[in-house]
Amino acid sequence: MATITRDEIKATIMGKRFRVTTSFSYESKDKCGQALCLGRVALLQKEVSGFVAAILNQGIEVSSIHNEWLFDDPKLIYVNIQDVDDPLDFARKVRRALRCV
């Protein structure tokens, strides 16, 4: 599992400071070097369309787009992604997509 903290986003929930994190998990590789790769990406609303377009262009599936919290400021949107891939290749694709936000 890997976690990225978005310290540049100064978010609060109900007026209290909240640490914004993005996380990825990878299952064990099969004999072909493929694994289930999952991600939960925290984004600002203005970042969603660019990230989603870039992730789809990388061949990664978007499984959900939603907000998780009430009374968050700024409003955070979470994009869940999934693929069966080599975990290192998946990480590289996600890194390229994150450059679009």
Ramachandran bin of 38, using left for φ above 0, alpha for ψ from -120 to 50, beta for the remaining angles = beta
For the chain, give every domain's residue range: 2-98
Q: What is the pLDDT of residue 1?
A: 86
C-beta atoms surrounding 71 within 10 Å? 10
Bond from prior residue into 87 cis (ω within 30 degrees of 0): no
pLDDT in tens, 10-65: 999 999 999 999 999 999 999 999 999 999 999 999 999 999 999 999 999 999 99
Question: Does an H or E element contain 93, and which?
Answer: helix 87-98
Start-to-end C-alpha separation, the chain? 22
